[in-house]
Amino acid sequence: MRYDLVLRVIAKLLIPFILLFALYVQFHGDFGPGGGFQAGVILAAAVIFYGLIFGLADARKLVPEPLVESMMAIGVLIYGGVGIAGLLLGGHYLDYFVLDPNPVLGQHRGIFWVEVGVAVTVSGVMLKVFYMFADRGKADE
Amino acid sequence: MAVTVLVIARSRNLFGVIVLGGLYSFLMATVLVAMDAVDVAMTEASVGAGISTVLLLGALYLCKSEEARPVQKPWLPLAVSLAVGAVLVYGTLGLPEFSDPKAPIHVHVVPRYLNELKKEVDVPNVVTAVLASYRGYDTLGETTVVFTAGAGVIALLRRRRKDRQP
């Protein structure tokens, strides 16, 4: 990777804001546009951006591959776990009303965790696909 | 958008095609914002213009940046795609007007979502409420699909690498 001062400085300036925006989209998804899927993609885009500017090895150091692979599965498990939690608390599968004494708050809680699950899986998969593609280029040389 | 598509179809420089593809995605996102589908627009901008552009550039890095001359004349595929497009446009003629309040989808469950939402879920963004709560099973399925797609990519690309190394 060529050393490019302007790109590096701009990337360092931008990446915190991208991460912050991803978190905003994630947690503000109940009130404005956005949600788990968009937040996951933006989160992955921030790391991909980092990988493009600073090289794949640095991105791997930042977000190691085992973590990415487990993120893919953990997201689905969180989502399914919310459903199981509803079952254990005496409701139907994916029934959020029972997650809190106040049914409306239970809905909020359920939606929050479900969105977290979606975001984790989506960003994991996007990063993994990017790592795989970028890695193939290197293996061919 | 039409100009972008025409240039993409004419161009032989794949780098330019990828950049124009990202541009097309942004234009599409603008159209979606104009149609008040902000959530979808956001997805289009981040996935269509962002991630897939990067992935296509990564793929371009692996191959030549000039498109090869086609072996055959493209008239038959062109005719097929034009015919399919015409059929699809013909199909849309039977759909109700855009934002017609009496359209079938707006009289089935939508009134319940919009009226009961405040009482039942109390989340200001209706899209999020429908996606994560009323249609929770569908979203679980979608998440599983994303996971499966990722697992498929891993399975495909990893085996290739293992073959090469020993």
A63-76: per-residue pLDDT in tens? 888 888 888 888 88
Query: Considering Cα of A35, then A37, then A43, then A45, what sign does the dihedral take?
Result: negative
- What is the C-alpha to C-alpha distance for residues A136 and A33, in angstroms, rounded to an integer? 36
| Within-domain flag for B30 | yes
ipTM of this complex:
0.73
Contacts of B54 in chain A (CB under 8 A): 45, 48, 52, 130
| Within-domain flag for B133 | no
Token readout for A105 is 């708050």
What's the predicted TM-score (pTM) here?
Answer: 0.74
Instruction: Report CA-CA distances (Å) from B147 to A84, A121, A125, B106.
Output: 19, 7, 7, 32
User: For residue A30, what are the domain limits?
Assistant: 5-140
Contact A59, A135 (CB under 8 A): no
| A45: nearest Cα among B53, B132, B89, B39 | B53
CB-CB under 8 Å, A118 with B128: no
| A43: nearest Cα among A140, A118, A135, A103 | A118
Report the chain A residue with the minimal C-alpha distance to residue B127: A33
Residue A34 Cα, gap to closest chain B Cα (Å)? 5
User: For residue B24, what are the domain limits?
Assistant: 1-67
For residue range A108-125, list pLDDT tens digits in order. Answer: 777 888 888 888 888 888
How many domains is chain A built from?
1
- Residues in chain B with pLDDT < 70? 64-71, 99-101, 103-107, 109, 112, 116-124, 159-166
Across residues A121-130, what is the average pLDDT? 87
How many domains is chain B built from?
1
CB-nearest to B132 from A31, A32, A115 is A115
| A110: nearest Cα among A92, A121, A93, A94 | A94
Q: Which of B143, B154, B157, B158 to mutate to test the interface with A (most CBs of A within 10 A)?
A: B143
- What is the C-alpha to C-alpha distance for residues A89 and A100, in angstroms, rounded to an integer? 9
Any CB–CB contact under 8 A between A47 and chain B? no
Distance of CA A46 to the CA centre of its chain: 10
Any CB–CB contact under 8 A between B144 and chain A? yes
Contacts of A24 (CB under 8 A, 6+ apart): A34
Token readout for B76 is 């038959």
Q: Which of B146, B161, B165 to mutate to test the interface with A (most CBs of A within 10 A)?
A: B146
Compute the count of residue pairs across chains A and B with CB atoms less than 8 Å apart: 145
| Within-domain flag for B42 | yes
| Within-domain flag for B22 | yes
For residue range A82-111, list pLDDT tens digits in order. Answer: 888 878 877 777 777 766 777 777 777 778
For residue range A7-66, list pLDDT tens digits in order. Answer: 888 888 888 998 888 888 888 766 767 777 888 888 888 888 888 888 888 888 888 888
Whole-number CA gyration radius for chain A: 18
Any CB–CB contact under 8 A between B147 and chain A? yes
pLDDT at residue B14 in the model: 80
